[in-house]
Structure 1
């Protein structure tokens, strides 16, 4: 009898919820709108919308009109197509619109109510390019200048396989015109390799994209987890990050965008529901050892409440982390503290929700003056600085002396007039030893191998990196310059 009563109660409750009225905007006292207004909503669309590759290649622009119900908790439901542009764009617009759940609900009679909304999603025009059978085709003259077509001036034809989002998914093949026929000249491999990092949700990560013969990444490079979820996307030119970088939440929402500048990097982040979270800048370090503090301009919680405005306020930040007591389990880091003029000031604390880690730090104008950290089951660790980068014993001068004494110029590279910077990446382990060596950006095979040999000879000559009083593994990128006199 009790089970029957519970079943009937559930039916009545569900039925009552389903019968909650849905109003139109003109029927409410205050209409539903994106938190922060249309500019924040458009910024969300701009960073999350992926124009289908066929539409991108054709240069088309168009608009999709969508309808939905904004629920009283700010989520959207019953998202549907009101006006079509084309099927692939319709699907993308529906995907992105459904991810935005940061609405200020409508109110009527002092009570939050459900309301229908109609919103446009615009796909902007783009520069068209040749695209056929899943590949982008570009033509170049003898000096590698880009040409608009395969006219008689075209000496090379480059064929780049792309997926539906316009990202590389196969080898780039370059053909050269010989006697009016295109013959394969060389190819740049599409590489997929596991990297040391894990996704914020704890999954192994793979990096994929195009590599040049010198192992330099070229073009769009994507980090994905073992289930195919995007973790990070960045554009490389000559193995250097350019333009901007995107990272993602587990649900597919862009978590952070970093725009690279000459003097500073500008960053914006979002909560998983699409609510804008933080806007801040990171100054470029003027030396290898001196860095300037970040400047935080604004901060919002996941409900849209602005906690920091014009650099002043109190931050309460919650983000996913891996537990310190069980590395296979995820928990939450709750960090909070005061900001003045955009910089950390006074006492800042952080704690893991599962109790596995806690820290407390004191700041003055963004510079850490000291702190203490406690990992469950361990003693309290006290530290003077928040973090220290790995350092060659003897500092930069010692590193320079070591390179001058040990680096040799290979004869074949000299005869080939090869010169430039070779970038070697390696990991400085917690005991100061080195591992995971890799030529990140090469110049000439013999120069690359010589740079690698010398870096390996540095093993045991480094001080490890340190974070909150504990030694940590740090990936380090070292440029080694070869110059002919």
Structure 2
């Protein structure tokens, strides 16, 4: 009996091994493929790929050929390098491919099976640059033209970058005077506390560079306290301009937006790496105007494309905190039709536990009317789903209020201090000001005066609203101090 049992175990073990052996491409009935299609998978790869700083400095381009096994759960295992580019690029290629867990597995005999895939990961070539001892060094002539011959340079710029290519210290511009380099000017490196919108409990920071007015310039990055990248945004004179990327905690890109003429093009992905949506916003429209966003394409989490070329019935799902029991979470399901990229007709949203419901009617992307009901409360009617807080009388009235109530501190006048104090505060449901905080100050009493005048504006605000209900909204306001 023991021999029979042993034979049975060996037989089962052999059968299990045979079932787990991955198939080659030509051995399956339908091959493994990325959900959302190959084109968007390529976009995923290029968006998430971060060329190592040493390879970027050399301008290296080329490809790493990887092999791996697409599992039946959509992930890729046993990733190995078939053709190497260089060790740091190989490691990055493996990292990015392992992030994508949205494969439609191969099938054989009507069942999902494991399949071997070979995947080229392409690193695009770039203009090489000098990178020495953690510093990117550039040379310029007297006309501020970038040159490669250091012997003909009038200026030398030094940008400290860490091993991840992130800024780590001041940018310093040197000018050649005689035979030696003298500091011409510097752009200060700044690391400050930052609320990135992440739901992580860790403290987050923003790093980057600021000009003489303490306005952000160039690419800035937000990081967790343990160094994980959460967001990167390009700034011009303190205003977001150009590309912006947000990341999931695992390092995968969650959303990328780019400026294109007067439009902001936005692409988003699920946590598996599968494409989620493509939409656009008119970035030239004034803040707070009824400016509908336009959705070109949308996929559900299983890879089913619900909106194609701006048309289709979309069903959005997310996890939210229940109104019935704030200690619990529930699903928020919204659905409606897109026509020519705009919401059209009836849209309905509801919490799965029944604690919240709304219904809205749209015409060419503009909400005509809506109603919402929260458990334990009356149904509310509205025409604007989301309303930002507004100073009573609008921006002209706010400007007049500040000019009449802001006092230049004597200490700042004596020191001839000028600039902007950036204040953060909350406008509560009654239009009152709460939680006033100085984000960026210039000292000499100006910070305290900016806080005082913002507090004095309490009660003069129309509160923000969401689907007919007043809500708390965080607001940032620059207070300008300028000597006449």
- Do the structures match in fold with TM over 0.5? yes
Unaligned runs of 5+ in 1: none
What SS is found at the alignment partner of 1:169? Answer: coil
Q: Which residue of 2 aligns with 1:188?
A: 187
Contact preservation (8 Å) 1:387, 1:466: yes
Is structure 2 residue 134 aligned with structure 1 residue 134?
yes
Q: Supply the distance in 2 between the matched residues of 1:115 and 1:291 (Cα, whole angstroms).
A: 49
Is structure 2 residue 220 aligned with structure 1 residue 241?
no
Q: Supply the distance in 2 between the matched residues of 1:118 and 1:172 (Cα, whole angstroms).
A: 43
Contact preservation (8 Å) 2:232, 2:246: yes
**May I ask how many residue pairs the two structures share in their alignment?**
474
The 5 A counterparts of 1:75-474 are 75-141=75-141, 144-155=144-155, 157-201=156-200, 203-321=202-320, 332-352=331-351, 357-375=356-374, 381-402=380-401, 405=404, 424=422, 426-430=424-428, 431-434=430-433, 436=436, 438=438, 458-468=457-467, 469-474=469-474
Q: Supply the distance in 1 between the matched residues of 2:381 and 2:316 (Cα, whole angstroms).
A: 23
Q: Supply the distance in 1 between the matched residues of 2:152 and 2:412 (Cα, whole angstroms).
A: 36
Structure 2 vs 1, CA of residues 279 and 199 (structure 1 numbering), >3 Å: closer, same or farther?
same
Contact preservation (8 Å) 1:216, 1:440: no
Q: Supply the distance in 1 between the matched residues of 2:154 and 2:444 (Cα, whole angstroms).
A: 30
- CA-CA distance at 1:86 after TM superposition: 0.6
- CA-CA distance at 1:290 after TM superposition: 2.2
Give CA-to-partner distance per residue, 1:402-440, whole Å, 9 cap, x none.
3565678999999xx999x96845334214344545577
- CA-CA distance at 1:74 after TM superposition: 2.5
Structure 2 vs 1, CA of residues 186 and 476 (structure 1 numbering), >3 Å: closer, same or farther?
same
Q: Supply the distance in 2 between the matched residues of 1:446 and 1:180 (Cα, whole angstroms).
A: 44
Give CA-to-partner distance per residue, 1:139-196, whole Å, 9 cap, x none.
34566554434335424x3322212332212333344444423344554333222223
Q: Supply the distance in 1 between the matched residues of 2:326 and 2:187 (Cα, whole angstroms).
A: 37
Moved more, 167-176 or 451-460: 451-460
Structure 2 vs 1, CA of residues 13 and 424 (structure 1 numbering), >3 Å: closer, same or farther?
farther
Contact preservation (8 Å) 2:70, 2:103: yes
Structure 2 vs 1, CA of residues 163 and 292 (structure 1 numbering), >3 Å: closer, same or farther?
same
Moved more, 59-68 or 222-231: 222-231
Give CA-to-partner distance per residue, 1:97-124, whole Å, 9 cap, x none.
0111222322333333221110100111
Question: Alignment RMSD, CA only?
Answer: 4.0
Structure 2 vs 1, CA of residues 483 and 213 (structure 1 numbering), >3 Å: closer, same or farther?
closer
Moved more, 28-37 or 84-93: 28-37
Is structure 2 residue 54 aligned with structure 1 residue 48?
no
Structure 2 vs 1, CA of residues 381 and 422 (structure 1 numbering), >3 Å: closer, same or farther?
same
- CA-CA distance at 1:227 after TM superposition: 4.2
Q: Supply the distance in 2 between the matched residues of 1:97 and 1:106 (Cα, whole angstroms).
A: 18
TM-score (norm 1): 0.83
Q: Supply the distance in 2 between the matched residues of 1:46 and 1:346 (Cα, whole angstroms).
A: 37
Contact preservation (8 Å) 2:290, 2:366: no
Structure 2 vs 1, CA of residues 329 and 124 (structure 1 numbering), >3 Å: closer, same or farther?
farther
